[in-house]
């Protein structure tokens, strides 16, 4: 068998589809550019590894459960001066994942907690990490579902697997014993595995007694959550309300368009 055919067959049997598809092009470019054997092999295998990475990112993104797509670049730091921009950019380097540092965003509704959590997850996804975004109320609802269907450990194992877990909106409703126990187990196991959690809450630390009425449980949870952690307290106004106010204060120019900063913008009320 010719080396060419044998190589093609090997790529096929190894399921290196991208490399197999690119083989003729790579060989052609190697000939015209007089590439060395090493460079040619490198080029071919790089095509395969990149294609696999993209496939993994796509699959992970599908399972990530993101509520929307917002990036760090889209975050207007000037609108939220209480946020330490450098700290957020450091989180964007994803070192916290390897260090197992938990990230906690605290603040009133609309200040960008979920946006920042999603933006960090998007960076992690691009690097090939498996991530999960889930709200506390969804955890409670799905857990009840799994228990009813005879699979009581399913929720916990789903929350342990991803490299980064976002638990969004803790604190809107107090947690009953079952929910608090599940939250404790997630935090405890991930703490011991040094797998980080990103958490958002509208409650300050002082108000956590209202979320988890059992004091012993609350202390045990906070103890593990905070040991390796960074808390970002966001003060200030809701971004959504700010937009509304800006529109409210803007004036309508002669063409019927809203005018802001001298530029006319289409009037688009934001849904609250
Ligand atoms: P919450 O703090 O309640 O989780 P979100 O993060 O969901 O609020 O923010 C509400 C909306 O406002 C989102 O669409 C988000 O993208 C936007 N937003 C909030 N803060 C900013 C900001 N500083 N720059 C750009 N968009 C922002
Ligand atoms: Mg939110």
pLDDT above 60: residue 267 = no
pLDDT above 90: residue 269 = no
49 DSSP β-pair partners: none
Q: Is 201 in contact with 171 (CB distance < 8 Å)?
A: yes
Torsions phi, psi for 81 (to 5 deg): -65, -15
pLDDT digits (tens, 9 = 90+) for 133-167: 999 999 999 999 999 999 999 999 999 999 999 99
Please indicate whether residue 195, judged by its CB atom, sits closer than 6 Å to ligand 1.
no
pLDDT at 205: 85
pLDDT digits (tens, 9 = 90+) for 199-258: 999 998 888 888 998 899 999 999 999 999 999 999 988 887 766 555 544 333 334 343
Neighbouring CB atoms inside 10 A of 180's CB total 19
Distance CA 103, CA 218 (A): 18
For residue 57, the SS3 value is helix
Contacts of 142 (CB under 8 A, 6+ apart): 155
Query: What is the pTM for the complete model shown?
Result: 0.85
Kindly identify the ligand whose nearest atom is closest to the C-alpha of 80: 1
Please indicate whether residue 60, judged by its CB atom, sits closer than 6 Å to ligand 1.
no
Return the ligand 1 atom nearest residue 234 CA: 2
pLDDT at 185: 97
pLDDT at 213: 85
Helix spans in the chain (H): 3-13, 17-33, 37-63, 85-92, 95-99, 113-126, 136-148, 154-160, 177-193, 208-211, 215-227, 239-249
Which domains are assigned to the chain? 2-62 (no CATH), 72-233 (3.40.50.300), 237-272 (no CATH)
> Average of pLDDT values for 71-91?
95
pLDDT above 50: residue 180 = yes
Distance (angstroms) between ligand 2 centre and the Cα of 100 equals: 23
For residue 258, the SS3 value is strand
Distance (angstroms) between ligand 1 centre and the Cα of 114 equals: 7
Return the ligand 1 atom nearest residue 111 CA: 2
> Average of pLDDT values for 117-131?
98
pLDDT classification of 22: cutoffs 50, 70, 90: very high
Please indicate whether residue 109, judged by its CB atom, sits closer than 6 Å to ligand 1.
yes
Q: How many Cα atoms are found within 13 Å in the side-chain-facing hemisphere of 90?
A: 11
Please indicate whether residue 196, judged by its CB atom, sits closer than 6 Å to ligand 1.
no
> Average of pLDDT values for 168-193?
95
Return the ligand 1 atom nearest residue 80 CA: 23
pLDDT digits (tens, 9 = 90+) for 34-78: 999 999 999 999 999 999 999 999 999 999 999 999 999 999 999
Residue nearest to atom 21 of ligand 1 (CA): 112
Kindly identify the ligand whose nearest atom is closest to the C-alpha of 232: 1
Compute the mean pLDDT over every residue in the chain, rounded to the nearest whole number: 89
Distance CA 176, CA 4 (A): 65
Terminal Cα-to-Cα distance of the chain (whole angstroms): 67
């Amino acid at each position: 068998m010719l080396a060419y055919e044998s190589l093609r067959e090997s790529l096929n049997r190894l399921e290196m589809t991208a490399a197999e598809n690119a083989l003729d092009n790579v060989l052609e470019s190697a000939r015209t550019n007089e590439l060395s054997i090493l460079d040619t092999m490198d080029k071919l295998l790089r095509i395969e590894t990149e294609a696999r990475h993209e496939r993994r990112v796509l699959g992970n993104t599908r399972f990530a459960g993101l509520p929307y797509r917002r990036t760090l670049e889209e975050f207007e730091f000037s609108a939220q001066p209480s946020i330490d921009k450098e700290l957020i950019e450091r989180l964007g380097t994803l070192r916290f994942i390897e260090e197992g540092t938990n990230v906690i965003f605290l603040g009133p509704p609309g200040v960008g907690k979920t946006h920042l959590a999603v933006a960090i997850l998007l960076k992690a996804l691009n690097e090939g990490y498996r991530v999960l975004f889930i709200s506390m109320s969804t955890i409670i609802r799905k857990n009840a579902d799994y228990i009813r269907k005879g699979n009581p450990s399913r929720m916990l194992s789903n929350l342990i697997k991803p490299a980064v877990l976002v638990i969004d909106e803790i604190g809107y409703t107090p947690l009953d014993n079952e929910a608090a126990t599940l939250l404790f187990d997630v935090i405890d196991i991930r703490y011991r595995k040094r797998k980080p959690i990103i958490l958002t809450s509208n409650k300050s630390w002082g108000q956590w007694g209202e979320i988890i009425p059992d004091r012993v449980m609350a202390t045990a949870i906070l103890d593990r959550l905070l040991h390796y952690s960074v808390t970002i307290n966001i003060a200030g106004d809701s971004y959504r309300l700010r937009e509304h106010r800006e529109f409210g204060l803007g004036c309508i120019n002669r063409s019927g368009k809203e005018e802001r900063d001298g530029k006319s913008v289409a009037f688009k009320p934001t849904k609250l």
